[in-house]
Amino acid sequence: MKRCHVMGLMVALGLQVAVMAGVFLGGVYPLWVGEEIRLETRPVDPRDLFRGNYARLGYDFSTLKASDLRPGDVVYLPLEKQSDEALWRGGEPQATEPETGLYLRGRVAGQPWSAGSTVKYGIEELFAPKEKALALERQLRDSAVAVVRVAPNGKAALVTVEAKAVNNE
């Protein structure tokens, strides 16, 4: 009987470790295999009392215009590299996975009765120590570039945020 309890405990612990490992690997997968791109962004808010200090980022392509998509639906955003810049831009969000090219995979957030919905791609927040988050907000107040790694399946991970280079030509 005691052996059965020990085996049950070992199986339960093994399953917990497997689940935690899966969550961890899912989070770092884009960092390991993803292609690095740069997206124009704007800082929104540096602090949350419950989650700590971070810079919340906004993207032009995160807001859905009139759409048939509902909260919880998966959205695919094709990405296009700008020929004159090192930046990438989001195309038109779609409900089906693109067959070619680089894209972001996100999920529609918001309430069905709200005027507009947003899409969360997993690159909206950069956590940092308090001083760094506040300095980042001041430094990037006008414009910024998010350095993102995008995996072949559209999953993305935010690497860092940089000041946008201004061309004075």
Each residue's pLDDT expressed in tens, for the chain with a length of 169 residues = 788 888 899 999 999 999 999 888 887 777 787 777 877 776 665 555 555 666 778 888 888 776 677 788 899 999 988 877 788 888 888 888 998 889 999 998 876 545 567 888 888 887 777 777 777 777 777 678 888 899 888 899 888 888 776 554 4
Q: Is 12 in the same domain as 84?
A: no
Q: Is 46 in the same domain as 28?
A: no
**Does residue 88 sit within a domain?**
yes
Tell the burial category of 101 from Cβ atoms under 10 Å away from its Cβ (0-12, 13-18, 19+): exposed
**What is the reported pTM?**
0.71
Q: Is 29 in the same domain as 40?
A: no
Write down the pLDDT at residue 128. Answer: 73
Q: Which amino acid is at 17?
A: V
Write down the pLDDT at residue 62. Answer: 84
3-state secondary structure of 77: strand
Write down the pLDDT at residue 20. Answer: 92
**Does residue 168 sit within a domain?**
no
Residue closest to 146 by CA, chosen among 89, 105, 91: 89
Residue 2: domain span? 1-33
3-state secondary structure of 148: strand
Write down the pLDDT at residue 169. Answer: 41
Largest CA distance in the chain: 80
**Does residue 76 sit within a domain?**
yes
Write down the pLDDT at residue 1. Answer: 78
CA 92 to each of CA 20, 89, 123, 128, 165: distance values in angstroms, whole numbers, following the listed order: 35, 10, 18, 31, 26
Interatomic CA distance for residues 119 and 71, integer angstroms: 9
Beta bridge partners of 70: none
Q: Is 19 in the same domain as 43?
A: no
Q: What are phi and psi of 17, to 5 degrees?
A: -65, -40
Give how many domains the chain has, as a whole number: 2
Q: Is 90 in the same domain as 153?
A: yes
